[in-house]
Structure 1
Amino acid sequence: MTPITPAVDSAVSVLLIEDDPGDAMLVEEMALDSMSDFAIVWTKSLAQARATLETDRPDCILLDLNLPDANGLDALAAVQRAAHGAPVVVMTGLAEDSTGLAAVAAGAQDYLVKGRVDADLLTRSVRYAIERKRAENNATALWASEQRSRENARLERGLLPVPLLHGDAVEVVARYRPGRAHGLIGGDFYDVVESRDGAVHILIGDICGHGPDEAALGVNLRIAWRTLVVGGVSTDSAMRTLEEILVAERPRRHIFATMTSVVLSPDRATMRVIRAGHPGMMVRSGADVHWLEVPGGPALGLGRRRGSWTAHELEVDDRTSLVLFTDGLFESRIGPTERLGEERLLEYARTRGTVSADDFVDSLIGHAESLAADFGGLTDDIAVVHVQTTKEGPRR
């Protein structure tokens, strides 16, 4: 490679790929006559250009389509592969207008015809090529972002379902907040289903990790759980089946899921709780808020004790409201190394014990978000489900 003009910090860097010294000298003269500063590096072949592009990415590439080791659109394609996204302006002979147009159709930003180029045209072509490439890259990034948003929206619809209830005897308030530190939807999920006998089944879970793979796995587990509940499968058997699905579907062997399943009896007098590595829950009874954490088994897909979960039956009354959530609610940072924690979360929740279900859930999440705001925001997704009886349900 041969430097034609000295590099200047504010200059536009141009890689000239041209085997003819005379044509290269003309480009140098036009660059010197232009109103812009150009730092041009001259290479005489595709092989030399590739070697240069391995270490440097120029602002623009001027490419002669007739090289000793490549020509025509093949030369353009080879340079584009090695260019790391740099814009390319091709140079053609007087009788090769159609080739220049074909090069633009193939992805070049512009073409120049040798013998019809002056300093102003060269400057405009290089400058416009850079701006067009930048606009193209921005449009591509925007399209990719929109695609990710649409994919996330589809996953979110799967993770955040509409409760399947047969009447208005139960009120469900659910919220989801993605952790902004990773910017993608994660694997938190929940569901509420009322079975034909009037029992209300509640599920909340958390796939370890963040991103579309974990979200898709969460969707699979949630839909499988809903299907099992509607099909009348017991909660104990459903948990074992969900673990089998997780192990079969997880993208990596270390992926596991924490989960809590609650079944409110048809008469709303008792509930059965199965906890698989998941945090406890809050129970609201009138103005009182307390923490409930029954003994549990391991997370799904983790360790050798697979399938070892025990259901615990507890009494409830018609004033009882259940608040289930994922660990992002209390693991938000409140200091450089300090987390909110379960005790502080419960202390705050007790100050909000008399508000409505919507206000209670929103205030918990808002509290976690505000405390984490000075330390990078939420680092994990948050899912919260609040279930309460609004009136006496049918005794079936």
Structure 2
Amino acid sequence: MNGAAQSSAPPLPATPAPVPGSAPIRVLLVEDNPGDARLIRAMLKAADGDGFQVERADRLLTGLEQMAAGRIDVVLLDLSLPDSQGLDTFTRASATAPKVPIIVMSGSADETLAVHAVQAGAQDYLVKGHVDSHGLGRAIRYAIERQRTAEQLARYAEELRQKNVQMEADMNMAREIQQAFLPEKYPTFPPGVAPAASRLRFCHRYLPATAVSGDFFDIFPLSDAEAGVLICDVIGHGLRAALVTAIMRGLVQELMPTAPDAGRFLAGLNHGLRAIFQRMNEPLVATAFYLIADAGRDELRFASAGHPSPLRVRRAAGVVEPLRTQDPRHGPGLGLFDEAAYPTCRCAFAEKDLVILFTDGLYEIEGAEGGEFGLDRLCAAVQRRVHLPPAQLFDELLEEAQSFSGRKEFADGVCLVAVERSETQR
């Protein structure tokens, strides 16, 4: 019967053309009215000759049995059958053959029913007497194409989900490996004494922004009275930055004979990283600060590779200031130049003094109301807590920074390391 087509599914831009020599489309027509069934068969014959192979079921139960047996490409389903009525008819059919596209063909032009059917998963809703042979053939081909596309998208989504699961597992393993590179326990000075009796005491907080981080630190003994403290920040985060921290760990071990000389130690790190960074497609750079805390000479020796200056806390005077020297020179970031100089600087390290090393993720945070936390605010925050033990100071400092940003998470990784010169027991 000719007439305007009424369809509840969105139209596609062009009718999929039959493929010459292809097998006919197997259509299951679930229709109890013999007259309607003959008309639909005739419409399909007119639409594409032998392109449709039609089987008929006059009851839903019979149709479900044929669907369960397979060998069906598309279902034309009447919702008003002797053994089932309304939307429940579609629901039962869809549950039996969820991967077979179903087109509802109903004598009812109820738009609400049509919308509900399509929302439930029907590929289309056609009103008997309001669709011609061309429209019916086109609706069937569209339904099959939409179903194939949906299944393909579902496969892609599942592949993506599996890849994400694998990526997450890889990231978790990378995090565990990176965490294993960090100091498990702090050295004591002299060796063997209880941490509370050590002449040098340490504390740290390590908060990666993602599963892995570009921040790295290490603490190692150089003598019975000297500790080497290294903090490093690879620009960026994620796996690339984390891999560089793993390389740093290996270089630190390799360069340990030079560790008593701060400038020479950083020059060695620069040379090792430069050789690697030159072979990378995308440029990388790392900043670092290396500090030697000497409890025997009551002094600090240090060198910087473009890293933020640590804070020196002179508790006896109640003063917090950047770690300054008479030599204002700082070496460049690691891996930038083949030959780079890193001057070694010195300053006093009195009893009860504290040095706080940190990465820029601590102070380069945006406030909830605008502005940056900044170094001045960081110094002031430490100043208010100058006499607190390092662990408590760090926790309160992080809380203040989080309160400033209005977020519990830091946008960039944060690493804090404290070196404390203990009071000599008399």
Q: TM-score scaled by structure 1? A: 0.66
Q: 1:278 aligns with which of 307, 310, 313?
A: 307
> What is aligned with 1:8?
9
User: Equivalent residue for 1:297?
Assistant: 331
Tell me which amino acid in the other structure corresponds to 1:262.
Answer: L
Deviation at 1:293, TM superposition (A): 3.6
Q: 1:270-289, CA deviations, whole angstroms, 9 ceiling, x for partnerless residues?
A: 11111111111112232724
- CA shift, 1:8, in A, is 2.1
Root-mean-square deviation (CA), in Å? 3.6
Tell me the residue number matched to 2:23: 20
SS in 1 for 2:334: coil
Give the drift of 1:343: 0.3
Do residues 142 (structure 1) and 165 (structure 2) align?
yes
Instruction: Output the amino acid matched with 1:37.
Output: A
Call closer, same or farther: CA 1:315–1:29 in 2, change over 3 Å. closer
For the pair 1:384 / 2:416, whether they are aligned, the reply is yes
Give yes or no for the alignment of 1:32 onto 2:103.
yes
Partners of 1:190 and 1:311 in 2: how far apart?
19
Residues 339-354 of structure 1 mapped to structure 2, 5 A cutoff: 339-354=372-387
| 1:352 CA displacement | 1.4
- Evaluate the alpha carbon distance shift between residue 137 and residue 307 of structure 1 in structure 2; reply closer, same or farther with a 3 A threshold: closer
Q: CA deviation at 1:152?
A: 2.0
Structure 2: gaps spanning 5 or more residues: 11-15, 27-50, 55-72, 77-101, 106-116, 125-138
Larger Rg: 2
Paired residues of 1:333 and 1:378 also in contact (CA < 8 A): no
1:190 matched to 2:217? yes
C-alpha distance in 1, partners of 2:8/2:272?
60
Indicate the larger mover: 226-235 or 214-223: 226-235
What is the deviation of 1:6?
4.9
CA distance, structure 1, for counterparts of residue 372 and residue 225 of structure 2? 39
Indicate if the aligned counterparts of 2:402 and 2:409 stay in contact, CA closer than 8 A.
yes
**Bigger mean CA deviation after superposition, 235-244 or 152-161:** 152-161
Contact 2:174 2:212 in 1 (8 A): no
Deviation at 1:163, TM superposition (A): 3.5
What SS does the corresponding residue of 2:247 show, helix, strand or coil?
helix
**Partner of residue 33, structure 2:** none
After alignment, is 358-367 or 228-237 more displaced? 228-237
Q: Once structures 1 and 2 are overlaid, which stretch shifts more, 280-289 or 308-317?
A: 280-289
Matched, 1:58 2:149: yes
For residues 387 and 17 of structure 1, what CA distance do their matches in structure 2 show? 77
| Pairwise CA distance, 1:301 | 2.2
Q: Once the two structures are aligned, what percentage of the paired residues are identical? A: 20
Q: 1:140-195, CA deviations, whole angstroms, 9 ceiling, x for partnerless residues?
A: 5334323322222212322565444434312211111122xxx3422111111111
Residues 175 and 41 (structure 1), Cα distance of their counterparts in 2 relative to 1, 3 Å cut: farther
SS in 1 for 2:376: helix
> Out of 289, 292, 296, which is 1:260 matched to?
289
Q: Judge conservation of contact 2:171–2:212 (CA < 8 Å) in 1.
A: no
Matched AA of 2:154: A
**Contact persistence 1:193–1:226 (CA under 8 A):** no
- Output the CA distance in 2 between the equivalents of 1:273 and 1:22: 79
Q: CA deviation at 1:302?
A: 2.7
User: Secondary structure of the residue that 1:346 maps to in structure 2?
Assistant: helix
C-alpha separation in 2, matches of 1:279 and 1:22: 71
Partner of 2:31: none
Distance 2:298 2:304 in 1: 20
Query: Which residue identity is paired with 1:86?
Result: A
Distance 1:378 1:238 in 2: 31
Q: Deviations over 1:248-285 (max 9, x none)?
A: 22344521111111112241511111111111111223
Gaps spanning 5+ residues in structure 1: where?
Answer: 10-14, 44-48, 61-82, 88-132
For each residue in 1:301-353, what CA deviation from the matched residue of structure 2 results, as whole angstroms up to 9, or x when unmatched?
A: 2357x422211111121111111001111111115652111001111111112
SS at 1:86 equivalent: helix
Letter of the structure 1 residue corresponding to residue 296 of structure 2: D
Q: Give SS of 1:32's match.
A: strand
**What CA deviation, in whole Å up to 9, does each residue of 1:71-120 have, x standing for no partner?**
xxxxxxxxxxxx4x434xxxxxxxxxxxxxxxxxxxxxxxxxxxxxxxxx
Q: Give yes or no for contact 2:258–2:265 (8 Å, CA) kept in 1.
A: no
Q: Secondary structure of the residue that 1:347 maps to in structure 2?
A: helix
Q: Say whether residues 1:174 and 2:204 are aligned partners.
A: yes
Shift of 1:206: 0.7
Partner of 1:302, secondary structure, is coil
**How many residue pairs get matched?**
305
Q: How does 1:1-396 map to 2 (within 5 A)?
A: 6=7, 8=9, 19-23=22-26, 25=52, 26=54, 27-30=73-76, 31-32=102-103, 36-38=121-123, 42=141, 58-60=149-151, 83=152, 85-87=153-155, 138=161, 141-159=164-182, 162-165=185-188, 166-167=191-192, 168=195, 169=198, 170-179=200-209, 183-229=210-256, 234-250=261-277, 251-252=280-281, 254-286=283-315, 288-294=318-324, 295=328, 296-302=330-336, 306-335=339-368, 338-373=371-406, 377-392=409-424
Residues 321 and 386 of structure 1 are in contact (CA less than 8 Å); yes or no, is this contact kept in structure 2? yes
Separation (CA, whole Å) in 1 of partners of 2:358 and 2:281: 25
Cα distance in 2 between the residues matched to 1:273 and 1:155: 25
TM-score by length of 2: 0.62
